[in-house]
Structure 1
Amino acid sequence: MGEYERSIKIQAPRRQVEDFMSDVSNLPKYLPTTKRAEPQQGERVRVEGEAHGHHYDSEGFFRVDKSKNRMEWGSEGEERYRGWLAAKGDESKGPTEVTVHLSFEPSPKVSRSLEEPTGSQEQTINESLDHALQSLKNLVEGTGGKIEGRAER
């Protein structure tokens, strides 16, 4: 299983960042591959999108842990992954440092597609995480929108 972690500083109070990133309806606004996200019963979420030429429609967990100032998500399906997005900083003034951490074990088919034709799996996943963080920054700061990139293809 691969472990990936990236960070970015957002010029906004921590509470504003947390409120935006923990709203399930905002996930498609900043996650590169996600096209739709719907809360399900309890701590469940259903997400749909396309990653590396493969459509996905899956259900997983999504929870907000206010004691750790982060949200956590994951799936137990064919593509086993879990991660967290945490915010550090003052609750009422910026900047806020946001860190995303992903543990990902792709199926052999998806693993091959992550490495073709332009680079390594690690590079592709890190690029997707950077796009998600930059999109989150753009939206919270009001300076732009979602970053589209190679993760969409």
Structure 2
Amino acid sequence: MEYSGFRHVQASPEQVYAFVSDVRNLPRYLPTTKHAEPQGPDRVVVDGVAQGHDYHADGQFHQDAEQRRLSWSSDGEIRYSGHLEVVPAGTGESEVRVHLTFDPDPQHAATQGTPGHAPQDHQIQEGIDKALESIANQLEGRGGKVEPSSAGTT
């Protein structure tokens, strides 16, 4: 399953990339994420609450400053990977593009007895949209993180 989204941000690509690539900032814009820290080169661990359940996850987190691109993948039962790119979009503006891939489809995994609580398609897309909104809020001085409506529900 594939999901994507984009958003214009009124900040330079360098400012946006500096913000999103700092692992300490992940909880400031990633839905449901409450804590994140690096675990050595290209590794990260995150903790949070999704759909009313605590989670602890680790995975790969690669930063390419030259291309202003982040890429990541999970090590968990529901495997996913993704990337975020920051591209120029006019003078002093950026476009942030996000793409996620799940393998297998989270709903198929849930029906096959995979532990955990697989997100629905609309929850994944809403999570992408809220993450992008949170990035814009932080960098444009309009507030902070926006959680999806389903973040705390079961």
Q: Which bracket does the TM-score occupy, shorter chain normalised?
A: 0.7 to 0.9
Instruction: Supply the AA of the counterpart residue of 2:94.
Output: T
Indicate how the Cα distance of structure 1 residues 73 and 145 shifts in structure 2: closer, same or farther if over 3 A, else same. same
| 8 A Cα contact 1:13 1:96, kept in partner | yes
1:139 aligns with 138
Count of residues paired in the alignment: 143
Distance in 2, Cα, partners of 1:90 & 1:133: 15
Amino acid at match of 1:88: V
Calculate the aligned-residue CA RMSD, in Å: 1.7
Query: Which amino acid letter does the alignment assign opposite residue 15 of structure 1?
Result: E
Q: Once the two structures are aligned, what percentage of the paired residues are identical?
A: 45
Q: Is the 8 A contact 2:123 2:148 kept in 1?
A: no
Say if 2:99 is the partner of 1:101: yes
**Structure 1 consecutive aligned stretches of length 4 or more whose deviation exceeds 4 Å:** none
Provide the C-alpha distance between the structure 2 equivalents of 1:110 and 1:90, rounded to a whole number of angstroms: 37
Q: Note the residue ranges of structure 1 that are not aligned, 5 or more in a row.
A: 115-120
> Hey, what does 1:5 align to over in structure 2?
4
State the alpha-carbon separation in 2 of the partners of residues 38 and 9 from structure 1. Answer: 27
Question: In 2 relative to 1, CA 139–122 (structure 1 residues): closer, same or farther, beyond 3 Å?
Answer: same
TM-score normalized by the length of structure 2 = 0.86
Cα deviations across residues 82-112 of structure 1 (Å, max 9, x unaligned)? 1111001069x4210001111124340523x
Answer with 99-108 or 23-32: which moved more: 99-108
* TM-score, with length taken from structure 1: 0.86
| Kept after mapping to 2: 8 A contact 1:24/1:38 | yes
In structure 2, runs of 5+ residues without a counterpart are: 111-115
* Counterpart Cα distance in 1 of 2:42 and 2:14: 21
Higher helix share: 1
Shift of 1:53: 2.3
SS at match of 2:16: helix
What SS is found at the alignment partner of 2:60? strand
Tell me, yes or no, if structure 1 residue 123 matches structure 2 residue 130. Answer: no
